[in-house]
């Protein structure tokens, strides 16, 4: 009587072991993979008494009211990549926009020197945290599509914002490839 191991069972066991080992790596960080953030850039405008603009508080400690257009001119749909970078005295958010976002940013910064860009974001788990992060003054024309500013946020919050915006950017890029 000959007894031999069934090769199918060996392959099945090896395949299940590979899935178990790889599955932990692929699906282990699902919370971070699902994290999303929003970004809205609003232009500072003069108060004209219409419903098209409103004053918003920038900075939590000592708020500065900045009157902005309600409709943003750039959103997370225009973002290509976000990084948290180290700068003298702390850190900053560095946002690189895609081709159309770069063109809009250049146009807006060319026409509105001396005004501010109010930056609003929703972030965190289930994007429950939200605030106006900054309002940098447009001091020059931005032609490279990169906006860098120091936000009113902790380093951890900035990491969450960057992670969420990068996830959104990947989803938008996949969608536009169709």
Residue 120, judged by CB atoms within 10 A of its CB (0-12, 13-18, 19+), counts as buried
The pLDDT value recorded for residue 25 is: 42
Chain segment 22-62, per-residue pLDDT in tens: 444 444 445 556 789 999 999 999 998 899 999 999 999 99
* Verdict on whether the full-model pTM lies above 0.95: no
The label of the residue with tokens 């910064």 reads 109
Domain boundaries, the chain: 35-177
The pLDDT value recorded for residue 32 is: 56
Question: Any residues with CB less than 8 A from the CB of 160 and at least 6 apart, and which?
Answer: 35, 37, 123, 124
CATH classification for the domain delimited by 35-177, as one of 3.30.1360.200, 3.40.50.10800, 3.40.920.10, 3.40.640.10: 3.30.1360.200
Question: Any residues with CB less than 8 A from the CB of 9 and at least 6 apart, and which?
Answer: none
């Amino acid at each position: 009587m000959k007894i031999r191991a069934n090769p199918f069972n060996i392959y099945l066991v090896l395949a299940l072991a590979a899935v178990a080992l790889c599955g932990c790596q692929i699906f282990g960080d699902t919370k971070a993979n699902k994290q999303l953030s929003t970004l809205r850039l609003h232009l500072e405008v003069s108060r004209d008494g219409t419903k098209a603009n409103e004053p918003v508080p920038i900075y939590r400690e000592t708020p500065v009211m900045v009157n902005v257009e309600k409709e943003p001119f750039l959103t997370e749909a225009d973002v290509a990549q976000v990084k948290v970078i180290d700068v003298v005295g702390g850190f900053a958010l560095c946002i690189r926009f895609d081709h159309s976002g770069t063109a809009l940013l250049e146009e807006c910064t060319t026409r509105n020197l001396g005004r501010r860009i109010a930056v609003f974001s929703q972030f965190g788990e289930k994007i429950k945290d939200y605030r106006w992060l900054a309002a940098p003054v447009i001091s020059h024309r931005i032609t490279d599509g990169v906006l860098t500013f120091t936000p009113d946020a902790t380093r951890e919050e900035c990491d969450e914002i960057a992670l969420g915006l990068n996830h959104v950017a990947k989803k938008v890029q996949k969608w536009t490839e169709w």
